[in-house]
Amino acid sequence: MSKGVSKFKGERLARARESREITRTSLAGMVDLSPAAISQYEKGQRYPSSGILRKIAGSLNFPMHYFLKEGGEEICNAVFFRSMSSATKIARLSARRRFEWLLDIVRYFRRFVNFPEVNFPCFASDLASITVEDIEVAANRTRKDWGLGLGPIGNVTRVLENNGGIVVRQELNAKTLDAFSSWYEEYTPTPYFVLGVEKMCAVRSRFDAAHELGHMVLHRNIDDRRLRDSALFKEVERQANYFAGAFLLPRETFPEEVGFAPSLDMLVALKSKWRVSIAAMVKRLRHLHLISEEREHRLFINMGRRRWRTEEPLDNELEIEEPELLEEVLGVLFAEKIVDERRLTIDLGLRTEDIERTMGLRKVLINRGGRVIRFPETSERANRS
């Protein structure tokens, strides 16, 4: 093996490149090397010189010490993406790499802060044996375990965080991804939810969160390799969609408000109360056999005539739910001077911009000068250990 920076970790170069959606050939052109050389660096067959490493780090916009850092194992758990098409393969890989950053960030925060205890019910069973009734029971049980009652849920994102879920909102760089989720088994098994920012619509985002909750409740033990089977993948998605409708619109209470002949104008009024899209309500009514297939078809035709298929009434009026827990934790760590920007970036091996984007920061802004511009209030959920 040639001489060079001996502490260089080739696998971290591969992950950094994939996180930026850059091919070996493109990176090679950026740093005046051959694709074969980049491949050898990534496989640990050669070490780059300090000068070449500096060029690579600059081209990928990473600090040099990122490539020398231990840890950051590749995740093997099942990750539930909304689309598994070849068109989203690069975006999925990039999202996985940034998800690994999120795991590093949470692992780092756990050194200083106690997170909410994970309290997620598990109804995992063989996919082929899961029935519609099983999903109804699972959705109802989840509401019961979380003390939600059978009415509209005020804030789905906050419910997930209060029960130990880690939720962030990120750019997923592909509109067909929408969101993804995964259980991670290190320390306490924890469910992670990554919601996209591409479709900033309150009801769609809530449904995305409920859909991913369905995966976490129903599909916890699925091997990632099984999701490559297209038929199985479609069934997994169908079950998660059904769970989302059942969780957001319980069969015990929602039908009582609809009556025997639901109209689109009636569903608009119910949308502001239940904070669920009109399209999802129509689907739920059909699932519960409260309307016929023909009636469902007519309602969707009428929605098309009103141009509601892409944007419904109230879509721009209902407030989007934003994750809060990680912002609050970071605010506590900065406010109490447990960490500062310099220590954070060195310990995580990431630039400030990547930390901000990975966490989807809104309220806590990390200044380039190393100080916090604005703190959120300290949360009771983020108690120091």
Q: Per-residue confidence at 383, pLDDT binned at 50, 70, 90?
A: very low
Res 385 pLDDT > 80: no
Between 79-83, 178-182, 253-257, the lowest mean confidence (pLDDT) is in: 79-83
Question: Structure pTM?
Answer: 0.89
Q: Per-residue confidence at 76, pLDDT binned at 50, 70, 90?
A: low
Which letter, b or e, does each residue of 271-283 get, where b requires 16 or more Cβ atoms within 10 Å of its Cβ?
beebbbbbbbbbb
Compare 308 and 129 and report the one with higher pLDDT: 308
Q: Per-residue confidence at 363, pLDDT binned at 50, 70, 90?
A: low
Q: What proportions of the chain, in percent to the nearest 5, are helix, strand and coil?
A: 50, 5, 40
> Could you tell me the two tokens for 120?
């997620």
Q: Which amino acid is at 151?
A: G
Res 85 pLDDT > 80: no
Q: SS3 for 77?
A: coil
What is the residue-wise DSSP string for 301-365?
Answer: HHHHHTT-SSS-TTTTTSPPP---HHHHHHHHHHHTTS--HHHHHHHHT--HHHHHHHHT-SS--
Compare 89 and 106 and report the one with higher pLDDT: 106
Q: Per-residue confidence at 72, pLDDT binned at 50, 70, 90?
A: low
Pairing relationship of beta strands 179-184 and 190-196 according to DSSP bridges: antiparallel
> Domain 10-68 - what CATH class?
mainly alpha
Q: Per-residue confidence at 90, pLDDT binned at 50, 70, 90?
A: confident
Q: Which amino acid is at 83?
A: S
Q: Which of 166, 180, 70, 168 is nearest to 110 (CA)?
A: 166
User: Check: CATH 1.10.3210.10 for 80-88+92-248?
Assistant: no
What pLDDT score does 175 carry?
67
Domain 10-68 shares a fold with domain 80-88+92-248: no
> Could you tell me the two tokens for 155?
């804030």
Q: Mind listing the pLDDT tens digit for each residue in 149-160?
A: 999 999 999 999
Domain ranges for the chain: 10-68, 80-88+92-248, 325-384
Q: What is the C-alpha separation between 181 and 222, in angstroms, rounded? A: 13
